[in-house]
Structure 1
Amino acid sequence: MGTVIMHSVASVDSFIADPKDDVGPLHDWYFAGDDPIIGGGDRGYDHSGSGSAFQVSRASADYVRSTWAAIGVIVMGRTLFDLVNGWEGRPPAGDHVVVVSHRPKPEGWHPEASYHFVTDVPAAIARAQELAGDRIVAVNAGDVGGQALAAGLVDEVAIDVVPVVFGAGKRYFGSVEGRLLLEDPHVVIQGERVMHLRYKVAR
């Protein structure tokens, strides 16, 4: 099975959004460079669903491009799905999306899209691994990612750290309690207004 990676962009104090789910400047670096990032099927738009093209700095481009190309499935929570309307059925990376939700897919919503609605995190990760095969399962950070990490279902943690302090908001690790050990980072890349870090989860 492919690697399960928990991922998101975060502030230096580990928030992925403010208390009102506004990401503020966290995603600015996605659009501040000269190198376009094209997802599967020539998709190139941001997580807000606004249609803006991803263009990152040269320092970030190879890392982001190779990471997105390796993703087979994205696992997300219902809050993010609703905020971005599921990227209108066209995720920025991967061929499938698994949504953790007790509510079904909205009736008539993009029937052509490979979106799967599952009621709990372990079942979502299992379904995503079936769909992904040997490719990466990318789990959005926050409550869903934190639950997957706490359950021992995450292999790596990837954080794109932006130099901003939020002070409060939605935490990268969700409501995880207790101590979890990560190995030393095996990816450390300094981009422009972002630092890419990737850690394996200690077993």
Structure 2
Amino acid sequence: MGRLIYTSITSLDGYVADEAGSFDWSMPDEEVHSFVNGLDRSIGTYLLGRQLYEVMTYWDSVPAEGEPPAILEYARIWQAADKVVFSRSLSEVTAPRTRLEREFAPAAVRALVEASDGDVSVGGANLAGQALKAGLVDELQQLLSPVVIGGGKRFLPDGLRLELELLEERRFGNGVVFLRYRVLKGS
């Protein structure tokens, strides 16, 4: 049985993208990217909202030459995993190992996680918010960037209350801080 994990790079004030939808302030350096690769090695399936899927299709065609090792390694990790895209507006998905679902069905997601040999990642703040509110998320992993952006798309939805247990923390040379929490069920 896998775990459902929500991981994101955020600003210190809790945003995954600024008011214009940009996340260029969050680009990881080689050290942080290598660490994220380590986190994602256990992922067998990615659950994605439409916007994140559109961004992540980049990893299906990363050039084999001229990229740093961490980039090439992440591309291999991404390409080896299954993906499920939740969208009402996409007519199709074109990335390999990817299927389209029209509705987020908590019971189906729970069954997928329980049947999984690896962990399952939920990504995209809106989709992750639905999973959090449904009580499906087992872990939160946050990479806090040393920047305040003042508004945009929030990492966590308003109105959510969770009790958490800190499992791990790490500081990186560029000022990013990693926090890993277990979601205490019944909170």
TM-score over 0.5 (shorter chain): yes
TM-score by length of 1: 0.73
Normalised to the residue count of structure 2, the TM-score between the two structures is 0.78
Aligned residues: 168
1:163 paired residue among 140, 146, 150: 146
Matching residue's letter, 1:64: V
Go from structure 1 to structure 2 and tell me whether the alpha carbon gap of 1:105 and 1:97 turns closer, same or farther (over 3 Å shift): farther
Provide, for residues 124-152 of structure 1, a one-character-per-residue CA deviation record: whole Å limited to 9, x for no partner: 6347537x722111111411101101100
Unaligned runs of 5+ in 2: 62-74
Deviations 1:61-112 (A, max 9, x none): 4x43331211111111012223x263364665351111111134537x34xx
CA shift in 2, pair 1:145/1:124, >3 Å? farther
2:67 matched residue in structure 1: none
Residue 6 of structure 2: aligned partner: 6
Counterpart Cα distance in 1 of 2:108 and 2:89 = 14
Q: Which has the higher contact order (CA 8 A, sep 6+)?
A: 2
One of 181, 188, 198 as aligned partner of 2:163: 181
Question: In the alignment, which of 129, 151, 161 is matched to residue 113 of structure 2?
Answer: 129
Please give the root-mean-square deviation of Cα atoms over the aligned residues, in Å. 2.5
Equivalent in the alignment of 1:22:
22
Task: Tell me, in whole angstroms, the C-alpha distance in 1 between the residues paired with 2:133 and 2:146.
Answer: 27
Question: Residues 85 and 163 from structure 1, CA distance in 2 versus in 1: closer, same or farther, beyond 3 angstroms?
Answer: closer
Q: What do the CA deviations read for 1:30-65 (whole angstroms, capped 9, x no partner)?
A: 2x3xxxxxxxxxxxxxxxxxxxxxx226xx74x433
Residues 85 and 156 of structure 1: CA distance in aligned 2, closer, same or farther (over 3 Å): closer
Instruction: Name the CA distance, whole Å, in 2 between partners of 1:164 and 1:12.
Output: 6
Within the alignment, does 1:102 sit opposite 2:127 as a pair? no
For 1:77, the equivalent position in structure 2 comes to 49
For residues 20 and 124 of structure 1, what CA distance do their matches in structure 2 show?
33
Q: Between the two proteins, what is the percent identity of the paired residues?
A: 31
